[in-house]
A and B are shown apart, each in its own frame.
Chain A
Amino acid sequence: MSNRNKFHFKKSIITAAIALSAGFFYSCSESGARNQSLPILGEREAVEREVNGQLEVDTLYHQVPDFAFVNQDSQRVTQETVSGKIYVTDFFFTSCPSICPKMKSQMLRVYEEFKGNPDVLLLSHSIDPQHDTVAVLKDYADRLGVQSNTWHFLTGEKDSIYDIASKYLVAVQEDGDAAGGGFTHGGHFILVDEQRRIRGVYDGTEEASVDQLLQDIPVLLNEQQHAQN
């Protein structure tokens, strides 16, 4: 570590400490409100930049890249759709015989809780887009009794879907194993903030884990509101 780097390292630790304690006081002063905050998940990077001849260190957090898919109503769904909103996302396929119905029954809990809130969206990506066409997704969503302005069922380029799955830090795979319906995937629900940073990963097949998600969403909404003021 060069001297200069050391200096910046020290400085960033101090900055972090100040930020942390500020956050601490801030949350203490908020009587009644939750004084918890959600972690920012994924790899982070320290980037130096020059401001008025001085080097400063910024932390770059892992961010979900831009995307473009199509939902059950043939509407394009992109980063613009989720702009200024938080969302919960998962990966599934309509003919999945194993964990998907359970995941969907749990995602329905999230839907019912937040369907009246325009700042919360749900994005379910099909990992079998060849079979899960717009029409198939439409039938699926209708039978679930959910609306596309809250819950988007997405299909699109297979490569793009598998690629974005890895950006949400979940693994999906085609495996030709008939018992699992030909695909493997974890039953994760991922909570994403306004800046498309990952703020929570939950087990969508476990009621208790989804209980936690239901508690975390208001915490994140609260944080975003304060960030705007």
Chain B
Amino acid sequence: MRKTKGIAVVTGILALTTLTQCFTEKQNEGQRLYEANCQSCHMEDGSGLRNLIPPIASADYLQKHREELPCLIRHGLEGPILVNGQEYDRPMSGLETMRTDKITNLLNYIQTNFGNNNERYTLQEVDQLLESCPPHQH
């Protein structure tokens, strides 16, 4: 009896560590994807570039347009937008080949970093949102 308890505890701890590891891994994947694909424009600290490139850091856009973001990442964005009261109007190209799970990790990374504390996405949610992207150029 005592033995089984011990095993259960050990298994529990093991499961927990794998889980947390999995989480940090995902967190790292989001960060890696940001560094590789977004940082050149939106900057290391997410501050953007004057009125040319909008900020990711503390950007109201991330909350207000939460449901549009998966399509924004995949297909890009064109036309004037408002971020924290400032108008921006330069095209951003999409990452057509980025897989849904990666888009999810990337979005969860920006939604919970750079001073943002927004709701995370599940994979199913991102999948659904991507099903109904508005018409785009590609």
Chain A 69-99 per-residue mask, 1 if CB under 8 angstroms from chain B, else 0: 0000000000000000000000000010111
Q: Which residues of B contact A105 (CB under 8 A)?
A: 43, 49
CA gap between A190 and B121 in the complex, in Å: 46
- The answer to whether B93 touches A101, judged by C-beta atoms less than 8 angstroms apart, is no
Q: Which residues of A contact B41 (CB under 8 A)?
A: 97, 101
Expressed in whole angstroms, the minimum distance between the Cβ of B100 and any Cβ of chain A is 22
Q: Could you say which of A97, A102, A144 contacts B51, with CB atoms under 8 Å apart?
A: A144
**In chain A, what residue has the closest Cβ to B91?**
A95
A6 at the interface (CB under 8 A from B): no
- The answer to whether B49 touches A144, judged by C-beta atoms less than 8 angstroms apart, is yes
CA gap between A97 and B42 in the complex, in Å: 11
A108 at the interface (CB under 8 A from B): yes
- The answer to whether B40 touches A143, judged by C-beta atoms less than 8 angstroms apart, is no
Q: Which residues of B contact A101 (CB under 8 A)?
A: 40-41, 43, 49, 52-53
B138 at the interface (CB under 8 A from A): no
- The answer to whether A140 touches B52, judged by C-beta atoms less than 8 angstroms apart, is yes
List the interface of chain A (C-beta within 8 A of B): 95, 97-99, 101-102, 104-105, 108, 140, 142-145
A–B pairs, 26, beta carbons within 8 Å: A95-B91, A97-B40, A97-B93, A98-B40, A101-B41, A101-B43, A101-B49, A101-B52, A101-B53, A102-B40, A102-B43, A104-B52, A105-B43, A105-B49, A108-B50, A140-B52, A142-B51, A143-B50, A143-B51, A143-B52, A143-B90, A144-B49, A144-B50, A144-B51, A144-B52, A145-B51
**In chain B, what residue has the closest Cβ to A142?**
B51
Chain B, range 74-127, C-beta contacts under 8 Å to A: 90-91, 93
Chain B, range 11-53, C-beta contacts under 8 Å to A: 40-41, 43, 49-53
Expressed in whole angstroms, the minimum distance between the Cβ of B72 and any Cβ of chain A is 15
Expressed in whole angstroms, the minimum distance between the Cβ of B37 and any Cβ of chain A is 10
CA gap between A99 and B52 in the complex, in Å: 14
CA gap between A145 and B41 in the complex, in Å: 17
CA gap between A97 and B91 in the complex, in Å: 10
Q: Which residues of B contact A140 (CB under 8 A)?
A: 52
**In chain A, what residue has the closest Cβ to B42?**
A101
Q: Which residues of B contact A104 (CB under 8 A)?
A: 49, 52
Q: Which residues of A contact B51 (CB under 8 A)?
A: 142-145
CA gap between A104 and B53 in the complex, in Å: 11
**In chain A, what residue has the closest Cβ to B40?**
A98
Q: Which residues of A contact B90 (CB under 8 A)?
A: 143
**In chain A, what residue has the closest Cβ to B47?**
A105
